[in-house]
Structure 1
Amino acid sequence: MRLTLLAALTAATPALAQTPCGGDFPAWVKGVKAEATAKGIPAETADAFFSGLSPDPRVLKADRSQGVFRKSFLEFSKSLISRDRLTRGRALADQWDAIFDRAEAEYGVSRGILLAFWAFETDYGAVQGDFETRRALATLAHDCRRPDLFRPQVLAALEMHRLGEFDLNTTGAWAGEIGMVQMLPGDILERGVDGDGDGLVTLKTSVPDALLSGARMLQHHGWRAGEPWMQEVILPDTFDWDLTGLDTELPAEQWAAMGVQIRGGVLTNGLPASILLPQGRKGPAFLVYPNFRVLFDWNKSFVYVTTAAYFATRLTGAEPYLAGNPDPALSLEQMKALQTKLAALGHDVGAVDGILGAATRIAVQKEQARLGLPADAWPTPELLDRL
């Protein structure tokens, strides 16, 4: 029933669905309310949901400035992973052992991955965000940067309110995510799990609901049961750096034949895998499998996903990575200058934002190869000068 209702809410409604973003906020609200009631939301529910709402400038500021993702992998991982966070994660794994076993049995998702996202998203539920969720969603849906993403989330939150699973004073992240593992209302409606059997899906207060909902969402996005996501590796000095990066996949045993060695583990033969060098050939090296790619459906940031995947391996017994001695990272202005030059050469780097994301890394590697530099996707001042 929940899926049917969500499909009805998010389906295009001729005329009503054309209400533009931006402009007068009360007029925009009136349009969304009309769309919601046309799709079966009671008028009184819509009136209560939008009562007293106005755009939140803090949300727009947060949406425009996500500078934390400009950190390098080593900086980012050191800022998020601590001995205390590891210790608490392992203790919670024991405390909620039956729920983690259920997540793996029903959805195939490792406890390490669920613990990593639980830790990074809300510090195991302790910091779930203080933004008023309905106001945050309305602000982002009204804003013209990503209305197609957030307008359906407003309608989903309305439906959750009708079901009794969304209080009007609900708070969460600035982008509208709710609960211990931070899921958007549409994902909660589609893939929320009543893990504690109380008849409701409440991700803010129920650990079973939150963990099982997160597991179900990962399964929906393609998580493969019983398969690894990441292993640290040691590469030979003669390795062909052109073969590194997410756009090259080879069978794991083929990497082994090239001299790739698993550090503290066993190679998983038969699986496609890529060699990932988050800070180039002089830094840590990982072999990543199809499950690693699924994590980008949870968070689009390359450095966040790589760090979460690595933390999940630590929580399940892996040793700390070999940090190596990578070349220094470019400054913010240098990275923007590099992205500008790469875009001028015809590469798709997305926004010129100073963030070394997946698209920029691919462009860097291609230019390194063209210029005869080690093509490890880690930008250096030498590359910037050569361009």
Structure 2
Amino acid sequence: MSRRLSAPAALAATLLLTPVPAAHAQECGGDFRQFLAGVKQEAVAKGLSPQAADRTLANAQIDRKVLSRDRAQGVFKMPFLDFSKRVISGYRMKNGAANMQKYGAIFDRTEREYGIPAPVITAFWALETDYGAVQGDFNTVNALASLAHDCRRPELFRPQLIAAIEMVQHGDLDPQRTTGAWAGEIGMVQMLPEDIIKYGKDGDGDGHVYLKQSAEDAILTAGAFIHSLGWRAGEPWLQEVIVPQDLNWAETGLGKTKSGSDWAALGVAPRSGQISGDLQASLLLPQGRKGPAFLAYPNYEIYLEWNQSFIYTTTAAYFATRLAGAPVYNQGNPDPGLSDPQMKQLQTKLQAMGYDVGKIDGILGAGTRNAVQQVQQQLGMPADAWPTPDLLNRL
């Protein structure tokens, strides 16, 4: 969850992490025991006990599988309809409803204190770990030590390793037994140690924050974290809509907003409920003008803080609306998209034309979507940012 570092979950982790001093960054890749000695020295300088540092680091070792995962990670390339159908199963819908009822008291407390509705937390809980069933089996200390020692992103992971020492000192992490995701996230909602320390809440009253075992702790902590990102209590986040076929498609997409009233005046209508007329919203077309359409309100931006992947983010937000009672989307009949080789070919062509699409990776990210939309406008095509074989052929 929090500032995630591994795919398919979030890639927004660099926003809040404390930079590492240059001298520490230079330790990467050298003698591992010397590196650990430096980590202990830094931890003690920050007020942590030498004993906690020794307990945490004494048996730490490099996990080559972690480094392999780090180099191989990629954002999900499945289109929205395929991805959402796969992850929003009947099982997850049924269990989500059951968990919201079972833990109703802590969900009510979380909404009172932080303003986060139960369906929002429950959707993340489902997508991250299948309600706690799949939390990862990588030793957390080894994962963090491996990534902090590696020279690719030491400035991101060294603070997390030191935060793990603090968790050991608090009695909230067992360096030998605590496991989680390959990038060091722990628990039912997959949080990194720094964020557990900062936002961790004892939901069950046992004096500890155990995100692996305690659903109450995980729910209340998730609420505190989402609140810290700027969630606006009482407001919607995503709403499925019906769009007129004569809409100016160039006005759709993230970063382009109108008030709900303005969208309604253009013929955009809700499939259920009412459009929030006084809120700004973007019109999202995950698979173009012939597929599902959603108004994304300001709270949708919080999902992007959790995870920068557009497909994951939109799926999580849509899943939360379903848990809150919204109907299944109208999937429409989208135009065929591009295969992975075709997407890379398109990105190469767009880059040659001067567009910033980022890495040629076959991922329909924000840069590629923006470039596609601009080129569609130039060619007189419907500018819905959905790349098709027809567009590729015209280029």
> TM-score over 0.5 for the alignment?
yes
Which residue in the other structure is 2:221 paired with? 213
Aligned to 2:300: 292
Spell out the pairing of 1:230-379 with structure 2 (5 A cutoff).
Answer: 230-379=238-387
Q: Does structure 2 retain, via aligned residues, the 8 Å contact 1:21–1:147?
A: yes
Q: In structure 1, what is the Cα distance between the partners aligned to 2:188 and 2:266?
A: 42
CA root-mean-square deviation? 1.8
**Aligned pair in 2 of structure 1 residues 43, 363: CA closer, same or farther (>3 Å)?**
same
Deviation at 1:67, TM superposition (A): 4.8
Within 2, Cα distance between the matches of 1:21 and 1:172? 23
Is the alpha carbon distance of 1:156 and 1:374 closer, same or farther for their aligned partners in structure 2, counting shifts above 3 Å?
A: same
Number of aligned residue pairs:
378
Q: Deviations over 1:163-188 (max 9, x none)?
A: 11111121011111111111111111
Equivalent position of 1:7 in the other structure: none
Q: Give CA-to-partner distance per residue, 1:113-151, whole Å, 9 cap, x none.
A: 101000001111111111111111122222233222211
- Tell whether 2:161 aligns with 1:133: no
| Aligned mates of 1:35, 1:193 — CA distance in 2 | 26
**2:367 & 2:34 partners in 1: Cα distance?**
38
**1:13–1:35 Cα contact (<8 Å) kept:** no
Contact 2:249 2:383 in 1 (8 A): yes
Q: Which structure exhibits the higher relative contact order, with contacts defined as CA atoms closer than 8 Å and separated by 6 or more residues? A: 2
Residue 299 of structure 2 aligns to a residue whose secondary structure is helix
Secondary structure of 1:70's match? coil
Using the aligned pairs only, state the percent identity. Answer: 58
Quick one: distance in 1 between partners of 2:118 and 2:169? 33
1:101-180 alignment, distance < 5 Å: 101-168=108-175, 169-180=177-188
- Measured at CA, do residues 130 and 365 of structure 1 come closer, stay the same or move farther in structure 2, by a change above 3 Å? same
1:218 partner SS: helix
After TM superposition, the structure 1 = structure 2 runs for residues 60-79 of structure 1, keeping only pairs within 5 Å, are: 60-67=67-74, 69-79=76-86
Secondary structure of the equivalent of 1:233? strand
Alignment deviations for residues 261-292 of structure 1 (CA, whole Å, 9 cap, x no partner): 00011111210000000111111100010111
Contact 1:16/1:31 (8 A) holds in 2: no
Q: CA deviation at 1:326?
A: 1.2
Equivalent-residue separation in structure 2 for 1:146 and 1:14 (angstroms): 13
- The answer on 1:97 being equivalent to 2:104 is yes
Of residues 201, 204, 214 in structure 2, which corresponds to 1:196?
204
Q: Distance in 2 between matches of 1:378 and 1:15?
A: 43
Amino acid across the alignment from 1:160: M
Q: Could you tell which deviates more after superposition, 28-37 or 299-308? A: 28-37
Name stretches of at least 5 consecutive residues in structure 2 with no aligned partner: 1-16
Segment drifting more, 26-35 vs 187-196: 26-35
Offset of residue 356 of structure 1: 1.3
Q: Distance in 2 between matches of 1:107 and 1:239?
A: 38
Distance in 1 (alpha carbons) for counterparts of 2:192 and 2:49: 22
CA–CA distance in structure 1, aligned partners of residues 108 and 73 of structure 2: 35
* CA pair 351-145 structure 1, distance change in 2 beyond 3 A: farther
The aligned amino acid for 1:384 is L
**Equivalent residue for 1:4?**
none
Return the match for 1:39 from 33, 46, 49.
Answer: 46
How many Å separate the matches in 2 of 1:223 and 1:297?
A: 11
Closer, same or farther in 2 for the Cα pair 1:229/1:350, shift >3 Å? same
Letter in 1 for 2:375: E
Letter in 1 for 2:380: G
Q: Cα offset for 1:159?
A: 0.8
Contact persistence 1:303–1:357 (CA under 8 A): no
Q: 1:35 to 1:342 in 2, by over 3 A?
A: farther
Q: How far 1:18 moved relative to its partner?
A: 4.5
SS at match of 2:76: helix
52-61 vs 186-195, which moves further: 52-61
Matched, 1:222 2:191: no
Q: Which residue of 1 aligns with 2:5?
A: none
